[in-house]
Amino acid sequence: MIFTVERQSFLTGLQKVANVIVSKTTYAVLQNVFIEVTDKDLILKATDLDTYIEKRIPLINKKKTGKTIVSGKKLLEAVSELTAEEFNFTLKANTLILEADGSESKFSTLDPQEYPEMPAIPKENEVHLHPEVLKECFEYTGFAVSRKIDERPSMGGVYLYITPNQLEMTATDGLRLAHIKQMGNFDKELKAIIAPKVFSLFPEGQNEVKITADASKIGLEFSDTIIISRLIEGPYPDYKRVIPAKYEHYLEVPTASFIKALRCAQVFANPLSKLVILELAPKKCCIFAETPEVGEIRQEFPATYKGEELKIGFNVNLLLEICNKINAGNLVMEITTPQSAVLIKPAEENPEQELLYLVMPIIL
């Protein structure tokens, strides 16, 4: 195997592929990337056995085809340091030699037969999308995915639900929930719980992605990249049931100043519970937090409040994460009782895109 490749395209390709590699694994071969030179181009592959990625990179020059596997992290670290425009690779026996900048790096390789085979791309449920739509939806929701996947595995992924004229994406960890509905013309129907990792693998500057899914995996095909990922097993929690249909108390605040007030309160919030209390009244709205050893804060913030006087407690971190996702100038909180889910959304309605968040209070 002998080939020459342009620096920038090799580096960005390798960075994406290396994202899949997990540092802690009992199966050592998974620390490697798979490199193959075909008649047409260079193929890089990596997997953690849940997600597979395959990326094609154009070659400047190819003298001999072949394939090998080599430590992904080490290769990435090494090429990141090199500034040459082109990299020359040669595979000799069990050594991959990289020549650039007048340096010669030699990497030990392993038998490529050892590397797990990529599964076949699913053929069913084909949907074509602009990748930015998916990325944007994930941007608004992905943060709410549960990190405690042992307890309820399905919450470890984002729930994608495509119908002919809308796309919904939902994420929750049981304490808060993020939900976005994007109008569009999608033609098909598709339901899947997708590992958040998949979204970090999207290549840049693409116009279309073909999505396919069967019962156990999803495939995403871009012009130069294929991602196949095992779907997270459901059922996904029945989130529609927990979205409150009506409310008793209405709070509208300028987003930026509310975030600022929350940040100030965060300083005084109890380090364990992260509790802040909103004290709401039609004439005056305050935020309060205290930790006996530190002190306390009571801060008034500008707001429009409709409803009876009310005190409600939240984990300030959960609230901030949500508010930070709201781009609109004002945000709305719809409260039913201090012990039930609170709905947060942008004040301005967008007919093309519906965004809503839920957060559960802390009992005072």
Binding segment (CB under 8 A) for another protein, from list 118-126, 149-157, 203-211, 259-267: 149-157
Q: Which one among 62, 74, 135, 152 touches another protein, defined by CB under 8 A?
A: 152
| 47 lies in the site for another protein, by CB under 8 A | no
| 172 lies in the site for another protein, by CB under 8 A | yes
Look up residue 350 and give its two tokens: 């967008």
Give the residue carrying structure tokens 């380090």.
271
Look up residue 30 and give its two tokens: 């998974």
Choice between 98 and 180, CB closer to another protein: 180
| 176 lies in the site for another protein, by CB under 8 A | yes
Amino acid occupying residue 356: L
| 175 lies in the site for another protein, by CB under 8 A | yes
Q: Which one among 148, 263, 298, 306 touches another protein, defined by CB under 8 A?
A: 148
Contact status, residue 36 vs residue 115, Cβ threshold 8 Å? no
Residues touching another protein: how many (CB under 8 A)? Answer: 23
Residue 29: count of CB within 10 angstroms of its CB: 15
| 315 lies in the site for another protein, by CB under 8 A | yes
In this structure, what are the phi and psi dihedrals at residue 316, rounded to the nearest 5 degrees? -65, -30
Length of the chain: 364
| 179 lies in the site for another protein, by CB under 8 A | no
Q: Which one among 273, 324, 327, 350 touches another protein, defined by CB under 8 A?
A: 273
Least distance from C-beta 277 to another protein, angstroms? Answer: 13
| 339 lies in the site for another protein, by CB under 8 A | yes
Choice between 147 and 283, CB closer to another protein: 147
| 234 lies in the site for another protein, by CB under 8 A | no
Amino acid occupying residue 221: E
Q: Which one among 341, 343, 344, 356 touches another protein, defined by CB under 8 A?
A: 341
| 174 lies in the site for another protein, by CB under 8 A | yes
Give the residue among 322, 359, 327 at the shortest CA–CA distance from 346. 327
Cis peptide bond upstream of 338, omega within 30: no
Look up residue 75 and give its two tokens: 């290769």
| 362 lies in the site for another protein, by CB under 8 A | yes
* Max CA separation in the chain (angstroms): 79
Choice between 125 and 336, CB closer to another protein: 336
| 151 lies in the site for another protein, by CB under 8 A | yes
Contact status, residue 287 vs residue 298, Cβ threshold 8 Å? yes
Contact status, residue 89 vs residue 63, Cβ threshold 8 Å? no
Half-sphere exposure of residue 285, counting CA atoms within 13 Å on the CB side?
23
Look up residue 232 and give its two tokens: 């997270």
Residues in contact with another protein by the rule CB under 8 A: 148, 151-152, 155, 172, 174-177, 237-239, 242, 273, 315, 339-341, 358, 360-363
